[in-house]
Structure formats: C-alpha cells, structure tokens
Amino acid sequence: MAAAAVLLRALRRLCRVLLFLSQFYILSGGESTDIPPYVMKCPSNGLCSRLPADCVECKTNFSCVYGKPATFDCTVKPSVTCVDQDFKSQKNFIMNMTCRFCWQLPESDYECSNSTSCMTVSCPRQRYTANCTVRDHVHCLGNRTFPKMLYCNWTGGYKWSTALALSITLGGFGADRFYLGQWREGLGKLFSFGGLGIWTLIDVLLIGVGYVGPADGSLYI
C-alpha cells in the first residue's frame, strides 16, 4: 500500500510538470494560437458582401468611372468565414461600391485626429495636417489611412456668451480678458479703468464679432 501511495504521488507530480511544460511551450510561441487582429471585426457566417473592408481584399477596377457604381472582385481574408445569399460558404465574390478613392469620401465616412496646438482664432484661419482613417463599414479605393489638411476646430471650453456678458458688465475691470486667459491685457484694462471706457467699448465689439477669442487659440462653445 505504501509503495502504491508513493507511486501515485510521483505520477501526480509528473502530470503537473508536464502540464507546466506544455503551457510554457505554448506561451513561448512553440505552438501559435494567434488570431489575426482583423478577425475581431469580421462577423462569422455573415453575408460576404456585408463584411467590413478590413475583412476582404478587392482587386482594383481600373475601368470604373469616378462617382459611378462599379463591381469589384473580392476575396475574404484568411480565418474569415462568410456565406452568399443562399447561405453557402464562399471565398470569392463580387462587391458593388462607388468608384472613388478613400481621400475623396465625404467627411462623415472617416475619422481624423485632432490638434490642440494650432490657433483657431487667427487671420487667416490656421490649418493642421490630420491623419484620417476610413470607417470600417465604408469601402473605397486606395489607402484607408491618409493625411488631410483641416481647419483648427478644437475648443477649450470657453463660452462666447459668457465672454460677451463679462465684457459688457465688467469689461472696465478686465474681467472679459481674465476669463479668456489674457492676463496682461486684463491687468492693462484693470489699472487703466478700461482705457477710460474706450478699450471696453472696443472689446465689446471685438468679442461680439468673435475676433477676440481664448488665449489658448481654441474656439468658443
């Protein structure tokens, strides 16, 4: 009995060691269990024609006319499964889409990065180079990520109505300039009593038409 118990304990230890070695082998890359990242965007057994653009590869139709509907020969990527209208599995299919490059899409079909380092209140209005990415469900020709020049349109949370109200009521004390983050101009108005009223009137007009904005260069909300 004692020998059997010792043998049983030895077998248990051996199983634990083998289990540890198998897990270490998998985690170290000995057995690849990686799933392509695009698979997470691809619904399983859905219609091939409804798959997102990241799930398929289509051949360019050089005979298509810009802005007109066109057909493209497409193939699903590896590890992606889809069906046709008869619910039969397929790999190659024809997709209908509008003939246009990704950078020619309307603004609602892509997302762009924002910049908080450019001045939105300037003359002329500044632009910045944004990196834009087409939305998953939109199909187009060319690179799905592209640069584009956009107008600076970020906001720091300053309200135009608040700035104008302060300029009308407490502009003689520089409250409007202090609110907009323009401390030097605010101190100048405070110690000059609003430039004897002249500076106050000018600021009411400039803030009213939006010429004077926040010091950080952002837009009003």
- What local confidence, expressed as pLDDT, does residue 23 receive? 47
Tell me how many domains the chain contains.
3
Domain assignment present for 196: yes
Domain assignment present for 66: yes
H or E segment to which residue 187 belongs: helix 183-191
β-sheet bridge partners, residue 74? 58, 93
Residue 174 sits in the same domain as residue 144: no
Half-sphere exposure of residue 185: CA atoms within 13 angstroms, side-chain side? 18
Residue 126 sits in the same domain as residue 78: no
Residue 143 sits in the same domain as residue 108: yes
Residue 93 sits in the same domain as residue 41: yes
Among the residue ranges 10-19, 99-108, 170-179, 206-215, the one predicted with the least confidence is 10-19
Of the candidates 61, 69, 76, the one whose C-alpha atom is nearest the C-alpha of residue 97 is 69
**Residue 146, helix vs strand vs coil:** strand
pLDDT digits (tens, 9 = 90+) for 7-44: 556 666 665 655 445 544 544 554 445 678 888 888 88
| pLDDT band for position 109 (cuts 50, 70, 90) | very high
Residue 88 sits in the same domain as residue 48: yes
Can you give the residue range of the structural domain that contains 54?
Answer: 37-99
Alpha carbon 137 to its chain's center: 15
